[in-house]
């Protein structure tokens, strides 16, 4: 629930600054230039390289990891001509998932889930131009190595398509990385259901609530991702080619699938809470029934025993507990008790409590 401090109200917009409480990692830029036939790669690139690569033919993929070096980011923005507000969104790392349509490029913000258990995520920012893609991530975790591999080996059609197809590949990666998370949710739900049926206790509610909260967060992350893909699909202009649109539509279907499964899980989780509450209620009913049966049987018995434990002087009056002196006094008392039990048992059977 903790979040880093926000900029104080009234500070001017478009200023790149690290907020206190935000951890940043050293910046590393990697540039890959490719076309159908060739691929060139430069790790630990600098702004000079950006300038260098910029006007050469082929598709340029610039990938920036870590946001420590704000000058690098600012220089990159200047080199490719980005709006300061977009760069500020990158640095803040808290922008809503969206597609901003600037005159010569698209600024796409998305979020990638990075941890199944703690449900942490990081912002992935994409700047898509006519022949380049700048992707920026905050941490050093190498999410997109598999896509780099596909590029290097030329598998699939990614080498023969434009920068928009590369952007699609990254977005598709982001959407598809939800599936393992969903399997994790599914397993935890099944586990909770099993435990709820075998030995329900109070911790279950807490765990269910935390699961629901994560699913809610997931839903709130997924809807705008789906919306942003929709925006890309509806976008006019030449940045997204017709050929890529078909693939984005497929990616949109995947996002829909994820949301659908998530909704399914949410229903199941809600149902489990209902079942749990009604099992609590049932249990209370059962406990109370046992108490009532025991109390209702033994109270009259104890009373009868109490009566014949009174010390009235039988010798002073024939009215004073003559039963005590009867020959069958004790069996009579026991019989009285037995009858009381019998009556109660009949009563309970009639009430269907037994």
Q: Which residues lie across from 337 on neighbouring strands?
A: none
Residue 184: which of 206, 214, 155 has the closest Cα?
A: 214
Contact, 116 vs 41, CB < 8 A? no
DSSP track, 243-311 = HHHHHHHHHHHHHHHHHHHHHHHHHHHHHHHHHHHHHHHHHHHHHHHHHHHHHHHHHHHHHHHHHTT--
Q: Which is nearer to its own copies, 55 or 201 (CB)?
A: 201
User: How near is the Cβ of 131 to its own copies at its closest, in Å?
Assistant: 21
CB of 70 to its own copies, least distance (A): 17
Which of 79/244 has CB closer to its own copies?
244
Sequence-distant (≥ 6) Cβ neighbours of residue 47 within 8 angstroms:
72, 75, 76, 79
Nearer to its own copies, 72 or 221 (CB): 221
How far from the centroid of its chain's Cα atoms is residue 287's Cα? 37
Nearer to its own copies, 12 or 57 (CB): 12
Minimum CB distance to its own copies smaller for 50 or for 215: 215
CB neighbourhood size of 168 (10 A): 24
Q: Which is nearer to its own copies, 57 or 306 (CB)?
A: 306
Closer of 43 and 284 to its own copies (Cβ): 284
Nearest to 122 by CA among 140, 145, 106, 134: 140
Strand ranges, E, within 114-234: 121-128, 132-137
Beta carbons within 8 Å of 66's beta carbon, 6+ residues apart: 24, 25, 26, 27, 28, 138, 139, 140
Nearer to its own copies, 141 or 257 (CB): 257
Smallest separation (angstroms) from its own copies to the CB of 343: 12
R_g of the chain computed on alpha carbons: 36
Q: How long a stretch of residues is the chain?
A: 354
- Does residue 282 come out as left (phi exceeding 0), alpha (psi in the -120 to 50 range) or beta? alpha
Between CA 2 and CA 206 the distance in angstroms is 19
Closer by beta carbon to its own copies, 140 or else 249: 249
Tell me the closest approach of the beta carbon of residue 247 to its own copies, in angstroms.
Answer: 6
3-state secondary structure of 162: coil
Phi, psi of 28 (to 5 degrees): -135, 125
């Amino acid at each position: 629930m903790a979040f880093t401090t926000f900029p104080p109200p009234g500070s001017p917009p478009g200023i790149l600054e690290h907020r206190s409480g935000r951890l940043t990692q050293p910046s590393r830029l990697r540039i890959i230039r490719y076309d159908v036939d060739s691929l060139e790669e430069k790790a630990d690139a600098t702004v000079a390289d950006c300038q260098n690569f910029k006007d050469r033919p082929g598709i340029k993929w610039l990938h920036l990891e870590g946001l420590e070096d704000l000058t690098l980011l600012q220089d990159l923005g200047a080199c490719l001509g980005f709006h300061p507000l977009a760069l500020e969104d990158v640095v803040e790392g808290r922008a809503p998932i969206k597609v901003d349509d600037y005159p010569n490029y698209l600024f796409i913000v998305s979020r990638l889930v990075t941890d199944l258990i703690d449900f942490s995520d990081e912002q992935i920012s994409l700047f898509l131009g006519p022949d380049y893609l700048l992707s920026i991530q905050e941490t050093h975790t190498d999410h997109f190595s598999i896509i780099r591999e596909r590029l290097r080996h030329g598998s699939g059609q990614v080498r023969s398509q434009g920068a928009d197809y590369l952007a699609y590949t990254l977005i598709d990666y982001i959407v598809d990385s939800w599936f393992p998370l969903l399997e994790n949710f599914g397993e935890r739900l099944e586990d909770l259901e099993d435990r709820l049926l075998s030995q329900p206790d109070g911790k279950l509610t807490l765990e269910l609530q935390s699961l629901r909260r994560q699913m809610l967060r997931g839903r709130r992350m997924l809807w705008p991702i789906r919306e942003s893909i929709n925006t890309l699909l509806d976008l006019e202009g030449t940045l997204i080619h017709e050929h890529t649109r078909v693939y984005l539509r497929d990616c949109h279907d995947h996002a829909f699938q994820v949301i659908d499964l998530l909704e399914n899980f949410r229903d199941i989780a809600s149902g489990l809470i209902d079942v749990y509450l009604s099992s609590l209620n049932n249990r209370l009913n059962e406990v109370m029934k046992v108490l009532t049966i025991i109390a209702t049987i033994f109270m009259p018995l104890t009373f009868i025993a109490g009566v014949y434990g009174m010390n009235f002087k039988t010798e002073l009056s024939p009215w004073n507990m003559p039963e005590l002196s009867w020959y069958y006094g004790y069996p009579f008392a026991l019989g009285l008790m037995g009858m009381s039990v019998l009556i109660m048992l009949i009563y309970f059977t009639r009430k269907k409590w037994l």
